[in-house]
Structure 1
Amino acid sequence: MKRTWELKQAATPDTLEMYIYGDVKSDYFDWWTWDMVESETSANHFRNELAKYPDVKEIKIFINSYGGSVFEGTAIYSQLRRHPAQKTVYIDGFACSVASVIAMAGDRVIMPKNTMMMIHNAWNIVAGNATQLRKAADDLDTIMAGNRQSYLQKSNGKITEEKLIELLDAETWLTAEQCIEYGFADELLEKDADLTEAKQLLQKMNKTLEQQLSYNRAIAVQFRELAKEPIQKTPPSEPPPEPPKENKTIKFMAALFR
């Protein structure tokens, strides 16, 4: 049974098998136990596990992931690129977002005809003043300038940077045939992959998005209801007040979540 994340010795002693079957996540601090927890899909964990096999000659990497942390994924990509072993990547379902970056570390990338990659620009959630927000946007541009190199190096001239930027801006799903065309993959398998686990990953992703949309719709309804109410209520004994002032903050929030 394939685990979500695993790096293990294969049947031959000089070969490793690496499975990426879930989110790529960084290490995190557990506030309940007051301990730093090492994520099984962090670059730190991968480095520690890889160090256990100093003489490995081949690494087989099996990917079925819709991505995760760009920092962790990029670091894993760099560790694989540096490693002298022969790297063969098998796309077992979907290699999305930073999982596609990890795939670019392969000397050979093999894709069954029914598998796909998805590439897009890095994104982040930020808060702060205008200067900080502009800096965050500039930082993302810098991150993507480096991120694009992984695709360009793998493609070996089959795609221009201008075309790559166009695909990234459009958040593009690529078929196995297109990945071969752009140089992101090297070999197309006629036999279809078993996408059972891949479909489960997509269903999980869609469920998360649906939950977020439901939450936003519920908040929007509440703000719209609040926007209909006057700010102040005057006791009946007082003279009729002036027309209530428009609550611009609530109306703005209602429009934002519409």
Structure 2
Amino acid sequence: MKKFWKWTNLTESNPTERILTLNGTIAEESWFDDDITPQLFKSELNSCSGNITVWINSPGGDCVAAAQIYNMLMDYKGNVTVKIDGIAASAASVIAMAGNNVMMSPVSMLMIHNPATVAMGDHNEMQKAIEMLEEVKESIINAYEIKTGMSRAKLARLMEEETWMNAKKAVELGFADSIIEPDKKINEDEKEKNKASDSILFSRRAVSVALQNKLKSHYLANAGANTGTDITDLEKRLNLLKP
């Protein structure tokens, strides 16, 4: 079994704190319908008491595994601090929401999007897959809503648009509580430059729509001089590129 987590049970500076590192794909091997892997993680989690720091650098993975880890961390009696030092995307972002305190490196990213699956069969099977994904999305929104206090409608829209957040935007929206301060001193001028209003949120779908609107506006403004592809045909071609 290839483990995507690693425990450091004690540190010299703080012998009462354990460190959990989640690195890489969440549950690259079997987790769903597997009694061994979840139980192993839970037994290691509960093998000691005390506070835990969870370091996350993961592109995501199995939403079932993420849900169980989220629940285990939420149920843990000690304090759970989450630190994102690379990326917490997709399923990994759900796990991050279990932290009593969520901190992000100033160069890290957090991404949320709609759940996805692979399905085959007739239209009834496809409809079942759609309904399943809708329910999975609602369950994921539960975790985001508890952490951020944001409306479910806004969270659903952010997921629909596949939203990427840098540390400042994640703090601004409530997905994170603070930014990990670097050891190097930052003067007041630098801090002013790094204020929350400069935070960045990137939506893949919003960028695609904006590009199409700009192309359409440009074409209509220069309709008399254009002899190329009709705007309707161009829109059809661009729609084919949508996910």
Give TM-score, length-normalised by structure 2: 0.68
- 1:89 correspondence with 2:82: yes
Letter in 2 for 1:16: R
Contact 1:122-1:140 within 8 A present in 2 as well: yes
Q: How many residues align?
A: 178
Partner Cα separation in structure 2 for residue 96 and residue 24 of structure 1: 10
Aligned residue number for residue 41 of structure 2 = 46
Shift of 1:4: 5.2
The structural deviation recorded for 1:128 is: 1.4
- In the other structure, the counterpart of 2:8 is 8
Deviation at 1:26, TM superposition (A): 6.1
- Separation (CA, whole Å) in 2 of partners of 1:76 and 1:57: 18
What runs of 5+ residues in structure 1 fail to find an aligned partner? 30-35, 193-254
Mapping of 1:70-149 within 5 angstroms?
A: 70-149=63-142
For residues 74 and 101 of structure 2, the distance between their equivalents in structure 1, rounded to whole angstroms, comes to: 12
The alpha-carbon distance between structure 1 residues 27 and 93, as it changes in their structure 2 partners (threshold 3 A), is closer
Which structure 2 residue ranges, 5 or more long, are not aligned? 184-239
Letter in 2 for 1:22: G
Q: 1:66 aligns with which of 38, 52, 59?
A: 59
Q: 2:177 aligns with which of 183, 186, 194?
A: 186
Q: How much does 1:52 deviate?
A: 1.8
State the Cα deviation string for residues 210-254 of structure 1 (Å, max 9, x = none).
Answer: xxxxxxxxxxxxxxxxxxxxxxxxxxxxxxxxxxxxxxxxxxxxx
1:10 CA drift (Å)? 2.1
Counterpart code for 2:180: L
| Percent identity of paired positions between Structure 1 and Structure 2 | 33
Residues 61 and 90, structure 1, Cα contact 8 Å, conserved in 2: yes
Measured in 2, the distance between the counterparts of 1:181 and 1:160 equals 15
**Residue 6 of structure 2: SS of its match in structure 1?**
strand
> 1:8 & 1:190 partners in 2: Cα distance?
23
Residues 93 and 49 (structure 1), Cα distance of their counterparts in 2 relative to 1, 3 Å cut: same
Q: CA deviation at 1:154?
A: 0.7
Q: CA RMSD in A?
A: 2.3
- 8 Å contact 1:26–1:72 — kept in the other structure? no
CA shift at 1:130, angstroms?
A: 1.1
List per-residue Cα deviations over 1:79-98 (Å, max 9, x = no partner): 00011110000001100111
